[in-house]
Amino acid sequence: MAVTVRIPTTLRPLSGGNSTVSVEGATLRDVLVNLDAAHPGFKDRLLDDQGALRRFVNLFVADDDVRYLQGLDTPVPAGETVSIIPAVAGG
């Protein structure tokens, strides 16, 4: 089940400069494991030491924030888009 992952500018060096990559995965967790296997470094940037999503990273499946779905266990249908959106702070 291939899905498209949108990569923000700040993380594109990890994906060889690509703004999108295609990886396999039935759940968001599977997608992230396969993303890190294909492009090492994503796991450290997206997940904390306990394997939970870092607070300053937002992940969306389609247009839905996974924090309001099933978190890393959110199903990702084949052909869907996963977006990585770094949180923005400031005033």
Q: What is the pLDDT of residue 60?
A: 97
Helix (H, G, I), strand (E, B) or coil at 76: coil
pLDDT digits 0-9 by tens, 18-70: 999 999 999 999 999 999 999 999 999 999 999 999 989 999 999 999 999 99
- pLDDT range class, residue 1, cuts 50, 70, 90: low
CATH H superfamily, domain 2-86: Beta-grasp domain (3.10.20.30)
The answer for 65, left when phi > 0, alpha when psi is -120 to 50, beta otherwise, is beta
The owner of tokens 């249908």 is 77
Question: Widest CA span of the chain, in angstroms?
Answer: 41
- The full set of domain ranges for the chain reads 2-86
**Is residue 90 over pLDDT 70?**
no
